[in-house]
Amino acid sequence: MVKMLDKRAVSPVIAALLLIVIAVASATIFYLWVTGNIMSAKSGAERDVTTLESKIKIDEVVVSENNLIVYVRNIGDVNATVDVAYLEKSGVIKYELNSLNGTLSIPPKTVYKVVYPLPSDSSAGTYSLKIGTASGVVASVVISGGQFSSKTWSYRRTITITENSGNTLTDFQVKIVLNTANFDYSHAKSDGSDIRFTDEDGTTQLSFWIEKWDPSGESIIWVKVPEIPASSTKTIYMYYGNPSASSASSGDATFVFFDDFDGSSLDSSKWKVEYSSAGTYSVSNSILYINLKVNTGTSKALTIEAVPNFPYSSISDYIFESYVKANAETNPINGWILSGMGVGCENSGGLEWDYKYLIGWEGYYDTYALHSWIGYMRTASVTASNDLWYTYYLHIESSSSAVGCIGSSCASSSWDIGSTTNYELVVGGQGNTFVEYWFDWIRVRKYAAPEPTVTVGAEEEL
Q: What is the DSSP string of 243-302?
A: TT------HHHHSSEEE---SSS--TTTEEEEEESS-EEEEETTEEEEE----SSS-EEE
DSSP E strand stretches across 2-49: 2-4, 20-24, 28-30
Residue 22 has what pLDDT?
Answer: 30
CATH number at residue 223: 2.60.40
Residue 307 belongs to a domain with what CATH number? Answer: 2.60.120.200
Q: What average pLDDT does the structure give for the chain?
A: 80
CA-CA distance, 156 to 188, in Å (whole number)? 10
Q: 81 in a domain, yes or no?
A: yes
Task: Report percent pLDDT > 90 for the chain.
Answer: 49
Supply the pLDDT for residue 388: 98
Count of domains for the chain = 3
Tell whether the model's pLDDT for residue 52 goes beyond 90. no
* Shared domain check, 236 and 173: yes
Q: Are residues 201 and 235 in the same domain?
A: yes
CA dihedral 441, 445, 451, 452 (to 10 degrees): -100
266 vs 17: which has the higher pLDDT? 266
315 plus 412 within the same structural domain: yes
Together in a domain, 162 and 281? no
Show the domain range for 327.
258-446
Question: In 53-168, which residue ranges form alpha helices assigned H by DSSP?
Answer: none
In this structure, the answer to whether residues 156 and 282 fall within a common structural domain is no
- In this prediction, residue 217 has a pLDDT band, given cuts at 50, 70 and 90, of very high
The answer to whether the beta carbons of residues 343 and 416 sit under 8 Å apart is: no
Residues 287 and 374 in one domain: yes
Q: Which of 189, 220, 254 is the last residue of a domain?
A: 254
Q: Are residues 34 and 104 in the same domain?
A: yes
The string of pLDDT tens digits covering residues 303-343 is 899 998 898 889 999 999 999 999 997 766 556 788 999 99
- Which residue, of 112, 143, 174, is where some domain finishes? 143
461 found inside a domain: no
CB distance 279 to 231 below 8 Å: no
Q: Phi and psi at residue 350, in whole multiples of 5°?
A: 75, 5
Interval 383-407: pLDDT, tens: 999 999 999 999 999 999 999 999 9
Q: Do 305 and 440 belong together in one domain?
A: yes
